[in-house]
Amino acid sequence: MQFDLSAVETATMVFLGTLFFGLLLTFFIMTAAFVALALLGVGRLAWFVAASLLFGAVHGINDAWDRLVHHAGTVELPGDFPGDLIGQSSPSTGTYPRVVLRDS
């Protein structure tokens, strides 16, 4: 027994065609939304990894600088500074005494 499409009413064929294209559009939009969410997730993960690495590098540099400064503050220099630099007037600053700065 063969099925003859000419026996089907036009309204039925239009209805079935509309359903088919509706389903096709639905699957297309669902696929596009899934791809967009996946790309968004990958982008956020990449941003999180880059920010974490940068944050860790900055904290590492800060910790290393802190250790260096504290170590330099505890170092005792042998002897006094050469000459009498403290209290001398500097030619470039007029009458201001020269000051030796140390990290405290």
State residue 70's pLDDT score.
87
For 75: left if phi > 0, alpha if psi spans -120 to 50, otherwise beta; the answer is beta
State residue 71's pLDDT score.
85
- pTM as predicted: 0.49
pLDDT tens digit at each of 104 positions of the chain: 677 777 778 898 899 999 999 999 999 999 999 999 999 999 999 999 999 999 999 999 999 999 998 888 787 766 655 554 555 545 555 554 555 555 54
What is the DSSP-derived secondary structure letter of residue 7? G
State residue 40's pLDDT score.
97
* Residue 97, strand partner residues: 89
State residue 29's pLDDT score.
98
**CA 73/CA 104 separation, integer angstroms:** 6
74: Cα separation from own chain's centroid: 37
- 49's enclosing H/E stretch is helix 10-74
